[in-house]
Structures are given as C-alpha cells and as structure tokens.
Amino acid sequence: MKKKIGIIFIILSFVLWILIPVIPFLSFGAGLKTAIVSGLFIGGEVFFWLGALLAGKDIMKNFIKKYWRRDKKDDDLS
C-alpha cells in the first residue's frame, strides 16, 4: 500500500510541475501568480521526495536507471 501511495505522490509531483508554465497566462495579479508558482514548486518537490520515500529504494533505483542515467553506449555517436 505504501508503494502505491508513493507512486501516486510522484505522479502528482509531475502534475504540479507541469502546471507551473500555465500560471503566467492566467488573469491573476503578479503577486498571486508568484505565490501560486512558489506553492506549486514547493509542493512538487515535497510530493516527489515523500513519494520516493514511500515507494522505496528499489522502485526509485529502477526509475533513475530508466529515465535519468544513460549508458556510455548511448552517448557515443561514432
């Protein structure tokens, strides 16, 4: 159950990050836009790291291996 909640938190963090570029196009004042973007930024980070803690080491290791790290073979163009 903890792993499922962790994965949901990680997905929610990406949703919050995706919403950040939309905020400047809303018809709010500059101060409110700044507050919303700050809240989304902090919320995205908090949900990501809470999700990582709940999902567990093995899921995060697979996630990092699959999406963030590349082998040397992928970097060589020749």
What distance in Å separates the CA atoms of residue 9 and residue 6, rounded to the nearest whole number? 5
DSSP state of 27: S
Question: pLDDT category, 47, cuts 50, 70, 90?
Answer: very high
Residue type, 29: G
Give the side-chain half-sphere CA count within 13 A for 70.
5
Pick the more confident residue, 1 or 74.
1
pLDDT attached to residue 78: 47
pLDDT attached to residue 39: 96
Per the prediction, the chain carries an average pLDDT of: 85
Is 21 a residue whose pLDDT tops 70?
yes
